[in-house]
Amino acid sequence: MPRPESASPERTAPRLTQLSHGAGCACKVPRGWLQSVLEDLPAAAIEDPALLVGSATADDAAVYKIGEHHAIVHTADFFTPIVDDPYDFGRVAATNALSDIYAMGGKPLVALNLVGFPVGELDPKVMRDILRGGADVVSSAGAVIGGGHSIDDREPKYGLAVSGLVDPTNMLTNGGAKPGDTLMLTKPLGTGLIATAAKRDLAPAALVDRALEVMCTLNDEAARSALAAGAHAATDVTGFGLLGHLHEMCQASGVTARITASSVPVIKGATALAENPDAVAGGSRRNAEHAKTYTAFDASVSQATQTILSDAMTSGGLLLALPPGVRDIKGTAIGEVAEAAPGGAEPIVVS
């Protein structure tokens, strides 16, 4: 959608990305650290059988059954600025939050704004444009903004809490992948690299525009196609990178996977950035270190490619486990699901 002319105020204040320590989903808490925090918390699913999907499988959203063919799918997602234009920041953050609903095969209905804003440092118009960007995306998804919550915060943050509906007899989770399934990715990688490079003045405007187009593309069509094709599992690729989210899918499904690195789509221009340490976000570095614990890389896979596979994405595509032979989905086949040894934790193989 076109950016409104009023969305870029004259700047005497700092750039949005200068006010944040990280960019977009790269500011997520490290996966391993988060696991250590969550491991001793009570299992809500045991206490309430209507909670069909909770935190146990690290899925994209919670699903709560309210009827035979109706369940509420609910998520919350927010982050620090990934671009400097406030309207575009709002668009990206909203698209990213809605993606969790689509990853479950659901339809978004109502969203609440979640805002942190430095009241004394930036013009109120900046916050207005952020909210306008989010509202435009929510409207394009056929949902509505019902209100929200804001706090005075030195570091800007924006996102949504989104509620939707899904048929519990026909929904997507990350736990149904089967050996022999084709793994398909519906958007290219590289948004984390490009956003970090832009924050550090290392990315040309044309490259940032390409990343923006990817980040502002809803995953609604991909979700509908996945449901129609009988996808066995789905997740969206965001802050833990492709390998991190694939690992979660494998754990939830009791399988492993093989990836062909040369088949993985990458935004044109991002590969060169992967060779520049200054373009690699801290979140991506943490992802790559964690990936070493569950991934076996062939010697032919370059360090730059390994970096891309762990890129802390913002508003990435859906990663789908599809029945063998399914190809009528807009996306790229990147590998296949494989059987794991009983009781074993076999590594994901990247060749």
Tokens of 328: 């009528």
Tokens of 242: 């492709």
- Sign, CA dihedral 257-258-264-270, equals positive
The number of C-alpha atoms within 13 Å of 14 and in the hemisphere containing its C-beta is 13
Report which of 226, 227, 246 is spatially closest to residue 238, judged by C-alpha positions: 246
Q: Strand ranges (DSSP E) for 18-97? A: 51-53, 62-67, 70-79
R_g of the chain, CA atoms, integer Å: 19
- Alpha-carbon dihedral 222, 226, 231, 234, rounded to 10 degrees: 30
Please state, in angstroms and rounded to a whole number, the distance separating the CA atoms of residues 46 and 57. 14
Does the active-site annotation cover 25?
yes
| Residue 95 and residue 143 in contact, taking contact as beta carbons nearer than 8 Å | no
Q: Cβ of 41: how many Cβ atoms within 10 Å?
A: 8
Report which of 272, 279, 259 is spatially closest to residue 304, judged by C-alpha positions: 272
DSSP letters for 119-188: TTTS-HHHHHHHHHHHHHHHHHTT-EEEEEEEEE-SS-EEEEEEEEEE-TTS---SS---TTPEEEESS-
Report which of 105, 98, 102, 187 is spatially closest to residue 139, judged by C-alpha positions: 98
Determine which one of 25, 27, 216, 250 is catalytic: 25
Identify the bridge partners of residue 121 per DSSP, sorted by sequence position.
none
Report which of 52, 262, 67, 279 is spatially closest to residue 176, judged by C-alpha positions: 52
First to last CA, the chain: 38
Look-up: residue for tokens 């509202």?
135
Q: Strand ranges (DSSP E) for 242-317? A: 255-259, 295-297
Q: Mind telling me the catalytic residues? A: 25
